[in-house]
């Protein structure tokens, strides 16, 4: 689960960079739920693995959290259209 959440976070981060381009801000409407699913997968990974094997899941949770925050801020600034 940790590896899946980490890869999910990397894909979400790449998508976030694309959505920061002007007139592609509508991608944030799809990005935020996508990253939220990744955060849930990471939380499940943290809950189900031993303490010494939680690094990837924690990194996935952090990446998806950053993407969600940046996506929400971008929607608030641009109105979700631009």
Q: pTM to 2 decimals?
A: 0.88
Residue 81 has what pLDDT? 64
Structure confidence at residue 80 as a pLDDT band (50, 70, 90):
low
DSSP string, the chain: -HHHHHHHHHHHHHHHHHHTSTT-GGGHHHHHHHHHHHHHHHHHHHHHS-GGG-HHHHHHHHHHHHHHHHHHHHHHHHTTT-
Residue 82 has what pLDDT? 61
Residue 66 has what pLDDT? 96
pLDDT reading at 20 higher than 70: yes
pLDDT reading at 26 higher than 90: no
Percent share of the chain, pLDDT over 90: 67
């Amino acid at each position: 689960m940790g590896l899946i959440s980490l890869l999910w976070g990397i894909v979400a981060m790449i998508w976030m960079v694309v959505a920061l381009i002007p007139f592609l801000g509508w991608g944030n409407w799809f990005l935020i739920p996508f990253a939220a699913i990744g955060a849930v997968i990471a939380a499940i990974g943290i809950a189900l693995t031993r303490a010494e094997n939680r690094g990837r899941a924690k990194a996935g949770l952090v990446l998806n959290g950053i993407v969600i925050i940046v996506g929400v801020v971008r929607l608030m600034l641009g109105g979700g259209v631009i």
